[in-house]
Amino acid sequence: MTGIGLFTLVSLNIVKRMKEIGVRKVLGASVSNIAGVINREFVINLGITTIIGSVLGYLAANWLMDSIWEYYLKLGFVSLGVSVLAMVAIAILSVGYKTVTTASLNPTKTLRDE
């Protein structure tokens, strides 16, 4: 579900900034430059939410396990790291696909409506 939500947010952001992307493309911006401009705010949000979510998830999981069982295997940083890597990989795939396809579009399609 996270990947679908990120894909939707990126799609809405791209639709809102389509003219800007077309102008940047006409002025000679590369695909990586356009992708960087589009993804900058998502990378910042993903970094902040990863840190906050990891800390709160670690504390909540240990609190829940402690409240249920007397003896249990504590949540390790390896399992936390794997879940963070999976989340980042899903985010990169969902956001990256949409931005690269948008940055590769012909700018005349976006600027024709004016």
Average pLDDT value for residue range 42-63: 90
Confidence of residue 85 (pLDDT cuts 50, 70, 90): very high
Is 11 exposed, middle or buried, given 0-12, 13-18 or 19+ CB atoms closer than 10 A?
A: middle
Residue 48 has pLDDT above 90, yes or no: yes
Average pLDDT value for residue range 59-87: 87
H-type alpha helices, 17-76? 18-26, 31-68
State residue 113's pLDDT score: 64
Q: How many CB atoms lie within 10 A of CB 25?
A: 22
Q: How many CB atoms lie within 10 A of CB 39?
A: 19
Nearest to 21 by CA among 9, 39, 7, 42: 39
State residue 46's pLDDT score: 86
